[in-house]
Amino acid sequence: MSAAGRAPCGLPRIGLGTAVQGPRPDPVRAAVLRAIQLGYRHFDTAAHYATEAPIGDAAAEAVRTGAVASRGELFITSKVWCADAHPDRVLPALRRTLSNLQMEYVDLYMVHWPVTMKAGRFTAPFTPEDFEPFDMRAVWEAMEECHRLGLAKAIGVCNFSCKKLETLLSFATIPPVVNQVEINPVWQQHKLREFCREKGIQLCAYSPLGAKGTHWGSDSVMDSCVLHEIAKSKGKTVAQVCLRWVYEQGDCLIVKSFDEGRMKENLDIVGWELTEEERQRISKIPQRKINQGRRYVSELGPYKSLEELWDGEIQYK
């Protein structure tokens, strides 16, 4: 993992994601423990994933067995869910997260979506009546308090557009360190990357392979003819080409596979690079946002269309 390095903000460039379909504590714990042994140090979870507890168990076991010298060698990210995106619920939510993790702090705590739901709404399907206006300023002030108390070493956001980031930066006392968003060769985020680079916000890519196999994912990344041709010519897998492309953008990335062979493969993206011609070919892949967030759009909610949720930045270009 040391070869992959860290971003300037301290975030390890490659992390293991733990969003799974349904409760799977034993497989998650085993996968995280094996990932630590393989060299992963960044683990991405969220209250909504219900994987905090097995990550905490794996981290504690890794320290006990000497796989890592201390918890300080690990970088743990979690996220406050929309049902807790209320000013008075953010800090209690983080305390529950820390209890689940059996830890005194998280390295990074993020707002999962720029969305507020009624308290208690943790599982889909969501109804139009579940959504409430998102009080960005008040929620962010609560996030800043988490940081001041030392419970979150850094704070950030997920799924924020340029416009929403601009609004946040207009009043934030502590600016977000990271914006975790969908990034892959089919959704390259040029505008957002330029904005975040200018503002000193690190981009972290989720679904760098297109989330194939999930209820909202797509085969469009892994089935890309361009990526297959490049992978064949380089003697790499399509996944490695995708991850290397994200890596070369300067982004951090979250990979998600509990298969040991793939976990090793996903780390093997350093020590080689794409050619300029290959980068140009990838840059011309037609763009389409995969995770559009349709379940957060409602005629009765604050976002009545995808255009409003993404501030027009979902346009295919």
Distance between alpha carbon 303 and the CA centroid of its chain, in Å?
22
Q: How far apart are alpha carbons 139 and 156 in whole angstroms?
A: 12
Q: How far apart are alpha carbons 229 and 208 in whole angstroms?
A: 18
Decide the pairing of beta strands 131-132 and 116-117.
antiparallel
User: Residue 317 contacts by C-beta under 8 Å, 6 or more apart in sequence?
Assistant: 287
Contact 54, 26 (CB under 8 A): yes
CA distances from 185 to 1, 289, 290 (A): 23, 10, 11
What one-letter code names the amino acid at 139?
V
Paired tokens of 266: 């996903």
Indicate which residue of 40, 49, 109, 296 is catalytic. Answer: 49
49 labelled catalytic: yes
The answer on whether 112 is annotated among ligand-binding residues is: yes
> If you search the block for the tokens 């993404």, which residue do you land on?
310
The helix/strand/coil state of 22 is: coil
Q: How far apart are alpha carbons 58 and 29 in whole angstroms?
A: 5
Of 112, 50, 56, the residue nearest 80 (C-alpha): 112
Query: What is the DSSP code (8-state) at residue 128?
Result: G
User: Residue 253 contacts by C-beta under 8 Å, 6 or more apart in sequence?
Assistant: 13, 14, 15, 183, 204, 205, 208, 243, 246, 247
Paired tokens of 291: 């995770």
Of 166, 305, 189, 171, the residue nearest 246 (C-alpha): 189
The helix/strand/coil state of 123 is: coil
- Known binding-site residues for substrate equal 112
- Known binding-site residues equal 112
Residues annotated catalytic, as ranges: 49
